[in-house]
Structure 1
Amino acid sequence: MIKYGLDRITELKFRSFQPIIEQRDEQWVDIALRFELEPETEVPEDLIDFSALVICTIDGTIAQIVPHDEGCDCEYQFTVSEKEQITAFILQPAVQEAIRKLGSPF
């Protein structure tokens, strides 16, 4: 995690993810991510309810990965390694299939 205005960087290691996938409109899919961290990893102390929002196109392409605190954007950003871990989860076939099903006409 990188806090805006500070030069201190910490690396989160994710153990598991719990997504909630919702179609926003005919172009975008929002994925609210809750996660469990590896035991040696700690969330910054000033975050109360830490989660992430992943914004994808309806074909599963990631457009943005945003850290949230209490459901809102916060003063942190993810490191490259953290984004890679989240991206790897989103690109799993089961998650991609769930995203595409939302965008498919009935």
Structure 2
Amino acid sequence: MHRVVLTGLAVGLAIGLLTGCVAASEEPAPHETRGPESAVARSVYPSAQTVYLASGVAFPDALTGSGLAAVAAQPLLLTMGGCVPATVPSSMAGWGATAVTLIGGPNALAPDVEALRSC
């Protein structure tokens, strides 16, 4: 497990614009286990070795991290900050992903996110 703390929106925006890459994200409704956002992420990334996780609440981390995920050609999934939606472990299993990189510090992503504990 890696933790990346990035500062400055310009970094992510510049990388994303220069590479022309797009990172997929998913933030399901509380009652969903696999919603349409999973289908979008799967259509962009049919397989993935690493999944990038960022808070969907603290958008600067996700915005900046999207460039990093795009350059790596790996998906960026959004979490609630304190836990991961059930779609995250199921998407990781579907992709065959074996690594997770957290985008943001411990104030944005709780230890339960690092442990991949579902909400």
If the length of structure 2 is used for normalisation, what is the TM-score?
A: 0.27
Larger radius of gyration: 1
Instruction: Return the structure number with greater strand share.
Output: 1
Instruction: Return the structure number with greater helix share.
Output: 2
If the length of structure 1 is used for normalisation, what is the TM-score?
A: 0.29
Q: Which has the higher contact order (CA 8 A, sep 6+)?
A: 2
